[in-house]
């Protein structure tokens, strides 16, 4: 684990890494998982060195490895620049793909039944998709059928291990235009800034949009995570000026987590 953050995953070994930051989000997740597994090992009476190995194993199995020998073949340099752009931040989903592949292999070998393997695959997609969305405040809308929402979340995460397919289906399920690579977000940030400046000049847009677009574009340029500033920051600003009034504490926390009104 101590070497994990010093290793550059193949998906980011390009100049585009400066535009999308140093994946601080995934580092935070890996650190939390490692610490939880380590403390569990210590609580179980294991020595510190054994508990460290438990932490490393938990991160490797849930988030994937970042060493050259650990990354999936689809992420390696010899797959070309286009494939590397399509698999940015793919490592955790590669780990999820491998979990499903292991289940399928066990079913073919007869070490578990097909029904058992299918149930485990469904459980993996359900808990990571549905529970993940609930924890981040992305639950069903008031007029949305709960069962249909759960099915969408499960399917959306179920295909997350397949580049291109996950983006296509994810866009169709959400109803929003998606992008095949995070690199497009960097390019789009510059386009939005130009559009915002032109909009203010013509009187069609608010000057605040220029500030937001400028912060976003600068963040990508300098490799600084700025979404908490532009998303949650905008939400808090709207509350401050009275444009947004959460109904209760739950609505406030949901808006704070997602940045959505």
What are the tens digits of pLDDT across the range 16-27? 444 444 455 556
* Cα–Cα distance measured from residue 176 to residue 179, given in angstroms and rounded to the nearest whole number: 10
Read off the pLDDT of each residue in 187-214 and give the average, rounded to a whole number: 77
Read off the pLDDT of each residue in 141-166 and give the average, rounded to a whole number: 86
* Cα–Cα distance measured from residue 11 to residue 38, given in angstroms and rounded to the nearest whole number: 28
Q: Which letter does DSSP use for residue 6 in this model?
A: G
Residue 166: what pLDDT? 79
- Entry pTM: 0.55
Four-residue CA torsion sign, 91, 257, 187, 160: positive
What are the tens digits of pLDDT across the range 57-113? 888 777 766 666 667 767 666 677 777 777 776 777 888 888 899 999 999 999 999
* Cα–Cα distance measured from residue 220 to residue 190, given in angstroms and rounded to the nearest whole number: 9
79 by Cβ neighbours in 10 Å (0-12 / 13-18 / 19+) ranks as middle
Say how many C-beta atoms besides its own lie within 10 A of residue 172's C-beta: 12
Four-residue CA torsion sign, 147, 176, 172, 187: negative
* Cα–Cα distance measured from residue 210 to residue 197, given in angstroms and rounded to the nearest whole number: 6
* Cα–Cα distance measured from residue 153 to residue 226, given in angstroms and rounded to the nearest whole number: 26
Residue with tokens 């947004």: 244
What percent of the chain has pLDDT above 70?
70
| Confidence check: pLDDT of 2 > 60 | no
What are the tens digits of pLDDT across the range 113-137? 999 999 999 999 999 889 888 877 7
* Cα–Cα distance measured from residue 58 to residue 53, given in angstroms and rounded to the nearest whole number: 9
Residue with tokens 């499960």: 154
């Amino acid at each position: 684990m101590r070497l994990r953050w010093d290793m550059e995953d193949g998906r980011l070994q390009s100049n585009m890494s400066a535009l999308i930051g140093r994946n601080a989000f995934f580092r935070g997740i890996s650190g939390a998982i490692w610490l939880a597994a380590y403390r569990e090992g210590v609580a179980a009476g294991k020595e510190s060195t054994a508990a460290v190995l438990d932490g490393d194993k938990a991160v490797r199995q849930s988030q994937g490895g970042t060493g050259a020998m650990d990354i999936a073949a689809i992420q390696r340099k010899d797959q070309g620049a286009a494939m590397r752009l399509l698999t940015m931040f793919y490592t955790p989903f590669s780990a999820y793909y491998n979990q499903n592949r292991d289940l399928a292999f066990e079913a073919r070998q007869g070490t578990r039944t097909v029904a058992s393997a299918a149930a485990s695959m469904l459980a993996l997609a359900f808990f990571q998709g549905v529970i993940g969305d609930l924890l981040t405040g992305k639950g069903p809308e008031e007029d949305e059928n709960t069962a249909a929402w759960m099915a969408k979340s499960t399917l959306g995460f179920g295909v997350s291990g397949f580049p291109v397919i996950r983006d296509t289906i994810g866009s169709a399920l959400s109803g929003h235009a998606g992008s095949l690579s995070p690199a497009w977000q960097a390019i789009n940030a510059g386009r939005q800034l130009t559009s915002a400046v032109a909009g203010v000049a013509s009187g069609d847009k608010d000057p605040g949009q220029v500030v937001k677009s400028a912060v976003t574009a600068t963040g990508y340029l300098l490799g600084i995570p700025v979404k908490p500033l532009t998303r949650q920051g905008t939400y808090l600003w709207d509350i401050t000026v009275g444009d947004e009034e959460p109904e209760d504490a739950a609505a406030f926390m949901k808006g704070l987590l997602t940045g959505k009104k």
